[in-house]
Amino acid sequence: MASGNLVSVDGVHVAYRIYGQGPDVEIQPDDSINLRNLLVEILTRELDVSEESLRSDESLIDFGLDSVTAGMIAIELGDRLNLTLPFTLLWDYPSIERLVACLSRYAGYVSRL
């Protein structure tokens, strides 16, 4: 559901930006590989873990995710995708698999606007 610049995906409100530069990573409705790679890049750096240790279905809380880090990751992810994401995004979707699914559905919705 869209309202102005706000889109709701599974009850999580995400604002999309209609100004400035495009996203660092182009996302299409079915392009989960780029999203996953971007998430892994950010998560390995912010959580100080190796890429090999991250499992797509494992909770990020198990890797030491706290609220401050979750907010910082949401901000960076939003900046890189040219979106305004809620600070609670990683709590609402606490695994790589669930984040990619959410953002893929969102990308599909926005591409139809």
Q: Provide the residue range defining the domain that includes 6.
A: 2-12+31-111
Q: Residue 72 domain-assigned? A: yes
How does the average pLDDT of the chain come out, rounded? 74
DSSP state string for 37-95: HHHHHHHHHHHT--GGG--TTS-GGGGT--HHHHHHHHHHHHHHHTEE--TTHHHHS-S
In this predicted model, which residue has the larger pLDDT, 79 or 111? 79
What pLDDT score does 94 carry? 92
Confidence of residue 86 (pLDDT cuts 50, 70, 90): confident
In this structure, what CATH number is given to the domain that contains residue 54? 1.10.1200.10
Q: Is the pLDDT of residue 18 over 50?
A: no
Instruction: Tell me how many domains the chain contains.
Output: 1
Q: Residue 69 domain-assigned? A: yes
**pTM given for the model:** 0.69
Q: Residue 59 domain-assigned? A: yes
What pLDDT score does 111 carry? 43
Q: Is the pLDDT of residue 27 over 60?
A: no
Q: Residue 20 domain-assigned? A: no
Can you tell me the mean pLDDT for 23-28? 46
Can you tell me the mean pLDDT for 11-28? 46
Phi and psi at 8, nearest 5°, equal -110, 125
Q: Residue 77 domain-assigned? A: yes
